């Protein structure tokens, strides 16, 4: 495992190499990362981070991926508002659908209000011994006076191939609300939209700014193959109050959720979709993903709106890897 720390994107520290060894029949692997110092205010996506390269010593399946925030004594932190996000990244998967080749990104993303991804029974995320995988975790801070150190406990539920457990892979698709959708929202004029145009960094991070009040953002998409979604999660920031996935042709709501907030409007829990039977999405059909924000402040707040779908392609998918 190779680690790097930084306060801004591009900051690099010394590397340490650790290979994750997995004993036969093992069900959980964990690793402590850190510490990271958090001092003063750090906006979302701009806090200190640690990035670690992971290599497995045998092939197998990840059934779940979780990251727990720990305090300076490596005990569970009572304040999760400083957790920004974490992600497990794998090389893209290439598959053939109807004679055409597609590449699917392979990320397992965690955000404020969601510290674990656990796939339903019968499904997993396959890893091999030749690829390098990356685990990244970042802090954020709404506090001016904070000065503390934190660790991250990274945990995998892992099933080696040797156990011969019949699992099927899921393909990951991200649906992001882009710049053109951010500024066509209700109650916004073109003049306001121009004033709120995103910077290059915001576009890179798929982030934008929400003015005071309630605003709704939406985008449309289609999939290259029919398939059943068995797991889905949404990346949404503080003051995000709802998300919805609907079928454009019928108007039917396929998925919806309202994040659970604390007394200070902090994000406590973001609902996820997890189902063994799955939700059928059809090839080339139009779907709409939307998020709603309710900003109580007199200043703009950062926002993101990303829908992560993990689906089982049923159009005769064949791996090209």
pLDDT digits (tens, 9 = 90+) for 263-301: 888 889 999 999 999 999 998 899 999 999 999 999 998
Give the pLDDT of residue 230. Answer: 97
CA 313 to chain CA mean position, Å: 21
User: Can you tell me the mean pLDDT for 107-136?
Assistant: 92
Tell me which CATH code domain 171-319 carries: 2.60.120.230
For the chain, percent of residues with pLDDT exceeding 70: 79
- What was the pLDDT predicted at 189? 34
Report residue 313's pLDDT band, with 50, 70 and 90 as the boundaries: confident
Task: Return d(Cα 167, Cα 316) in angstroms, integer.
Answer: 17
Mean pLDDT: which of 25-34, 69-78, 160-169, 191-200 is highest? 69-78
Decide the pairing of beta strands 133-139 and 100-111.
unpaired
How far, in Å, CA of 177 to CA of 217, rounded? 7
Cβ atoms 138, 111 nearer than 8 A? no
Distances 4 to 13, 31, 37, 116, 128 between C-alpha atoms, Å: 5, 15, 13, 23, 23
pLDDT confidence of residue 6: 41
pTM over 0.85: no
Give the span between the Cα atoms of 70 and 149, in whole angstroms. Answer: 9
pLDDT of 106 = 80
- What is d(CA 278, CA 231) in angstroms, rounded to the nearest whole number? 8
Q: If we measure between CA atoms, which residue out of 107, 112, 116, 114 comes closest to residue 154?
A: 116
Mean pLDDT of all residues in 218-226:
89
pLDDT level of residue 302 (50, 70, 90 thresholds): confident
Give the tokens for residue 142: 């709404």
> How many Cβ atoms are within 10 Å of 278's Cβ, its own excluded?
20
The pLDDT mean for the chain works out to 81
Share above pLDDT 90 across residues of the chain, in percent, rounded to a whole number:
53
Q: Using CA atoms, how far apart are residues 277 and 55, in angstroms rounded to an integer?
A: 32
Spatial separation of the C-alpha atoms in residues 56 and 21, rounded to whole Å: 6
Q: Distance from CA of residue 222 to its chain's centroid?
A: 20
**How confident is residue 8, by pLDDT bands cut at 50, 70 and 90?**
very low
Q: Rounded to whole angstroms, what are the CA distances from 219 to 181, 185, 216, 235, 243?
A: 6, 10, 11, 15, 12
Question: What are the boundaries of each domain within the chain?
Answer: 2-167, 171-319
pLDDT score of 26 more than 70: no
């Amino acid at each position: 495992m190779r680690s790097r720390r930084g306060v801004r994107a591009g900051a690099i520290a010394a590397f340490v190499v650790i290979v994750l060894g997995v004993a036969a029949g093992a069900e959980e692997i964990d690793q402590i990362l850190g510490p990271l110092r958090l001092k003063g205010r750090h906006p979302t996506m701009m806090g200190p981070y640690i990035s670690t390269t992971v290599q497995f010593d045998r092939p197998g399946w990840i059934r779940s991926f979780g990251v727990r925030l720990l305090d300076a004594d490596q005990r569970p932190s009572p304040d999760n508002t400083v957790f920004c996000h974490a992600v497990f990244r794998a090389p893209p998967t290439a598959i053939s659908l109807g004679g055409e080749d597609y590449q699917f990104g392979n990320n397992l993303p965690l955000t404020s209000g969601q510290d674990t991804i656990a796939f339903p029974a019968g499904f997993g995320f396959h890893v091999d011994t030749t690829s390098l995988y990356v685990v990244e975790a970042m802090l954020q801070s709404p506090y001016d006076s904070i000065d503390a150190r934190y660790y991250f406990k990274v945990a995998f539920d892992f099933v080696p191939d040797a156990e011969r457990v019949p699992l099927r892979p899921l393909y990951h698709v991200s649906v992001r609300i882009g710049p053109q959708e951010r500024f066509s929202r209700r109650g916004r004029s073109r003049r306001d939209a121009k004033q709120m145009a995103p910077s290059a960094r915001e576009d890179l991070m798929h982030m934008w700014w929400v003015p005071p009040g309630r605003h709704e953002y939406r985008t449309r998409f289609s999939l290259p193959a029919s398939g059943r979604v068995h797991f889905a999660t949404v990346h949404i920031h503080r003051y995000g109050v709802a998300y919805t996935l609907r079928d454009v042709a019928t108007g039917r709501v396929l998925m919806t959720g309202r994040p659970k907030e604390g007394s200070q409007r902090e994000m406590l829990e973001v609902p996820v979709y997890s189902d063994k039977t799955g939700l059928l999405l059809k090839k080339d059909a139009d779907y709409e993903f939307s998020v709603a924000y309710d900003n109580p402040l007199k200043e703009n707040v950062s926002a993101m709106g990303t829908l992560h779908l993990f689906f089982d392609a049923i159009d005769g998918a064949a791996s090209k890897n």
